[in-house]
Amino acid sequence: MISAELRDARKGFTALIKDALYPRICPGCGRASDRAGRCICWDCFGRIEVLDGGLCALCGNPLTGNPRSDFICALCRQNKPSFDRARSGALFSGIMRSVLHDFKYNNALWLTADISDIIEGVLSVGFDVNSIDLVVPVPLFRTRERERSYNQAQVLAVELAERLDRRLDTRSLKRVRATETQTRFNAAQRRVNIKDAFAVVRTQWIRGRTILLVDDVMTTGATLSECSAALKRGGARTVYAVSAARR
């Protein structure tokens, strides 16, 4: 078994060689990236609107003013979400919008590390990372996964599980019903559309566990909440929901 230091050193060396052979072009400014092993350059990375303060304690909704750290927003008070806490890396704006669009629809898997950096930035701030047992992606319905050839949430979950050195579980939570795309719906319609769309099929893996649930973009939180409800029905102790960006 190789030590973590040696593994990191090897990775760093591989990244250096790759950088020399294939310069990475920043999707924000079109110049060669100066971040080792990453596509987004330091300049553009610094302009991403990260969500690291002034948030609803429960859903991570950015709030105006200077809310107390335990403040729960009106949306959560009206409809309590099923996750224990949700956090997003950044606002869905500027470079994050184009990066996540390319990642989802244009097979831009080379952006995985960049997007994971944004998520990783909020993990330790938002959650008790040491308590996480399993990393679980929001599943796609099987026909949609075939159309798109991959599940972008799963790609991010794979990367995060590796970075956190936690078990990845892509098989216990299933989408059991096809749903219409949420984009045209308002918050209430989204909740109805996604209701009971997920189920836990292997409760022995979920029962008593603290789960990091991963998606690419959070809008109203209806999907993350519904997945969390299914995980809780399956016996999960705690569900932390994380996404790269928030609309």
Q: Which amino acid is at 72?
A: I
83 vs 205, beta carbon nearer Zn ion: 83
76 vs 241, beta carbon nearer Zn ion: 76
Q: Which amino acid is at 191?
A: R
CB of 34 to Zn ion, least distance (A): 9
CB of 112 to Zn ion, least distance (A): 18
86 vs 157, beta carbon nearer Zn ion: 86
DSSP 200: E
41 vs 168, beta carbon nearer Zn ion: 41
Query: Torsion angle, CA of 79/85/87/92, rounded to 10 degrees?
Result: -20
Only one of the segments 14-22, 48-56, 100-108, 233-241 lies at the binding site for Zn ion (rule: CB under 5 A); that segment is 48-56
80 vs 167, beta carbon nearer Zn ion: 80
CB of 81 to Zn ion, least distance (A): 7
Q: 37: left (phi > 0), else alpha (psi -120 to 50), else beta?
A: left
Residues numbered 6 to 45 that lie near Zn ion (CB under 5 A) are 26, 28-29, 41, 44
CB of 106 to Zn ion, least distance (A): 18
Q: Which amino acid is at 140?
A: L
Query: Which residues, in sequence order, are CB contacts of 17 under 8 Å at separation 6+?
Result: none
CB of 166 to Zn ion, least distance (A): 26
Residues numbered 52 to 111 that lie near Zn ion (CB under 5 A) are 56, 58-59, 61, 73, 76
Residues, the chain: 247
168 vs 242, beta carbon nearer Zn ion: 242
CB of 29 to Zn ion, least distance (A): 3
User: What number of other Cβ atoms are within 10 A of residue 202's Cβ?
Assistant: 13
Structure-block tokens of residue 56: 């609803």
Spell out the alpha helix ranges (H) of the chain.
4-21, 42-46, 74-78, 94-105, 112-126, 142-148, 152-164, 187-194, 203-206, 222-233
Return d(Cα 234, Cα 117) in angstroms, integer: 30
Structure-block tokens of residue 224: 């993350």
- CA gyration radius, the chain: 18
CB of 201 to Zn ion, least distance (A): 30
161 vs 222, beta carbon nearer Zn ion: 222
Name the site residues for Zn ion (rule: CB under 5 A): 26, 28-29, 41, 44, 56, 58-59, 61, 73, 76
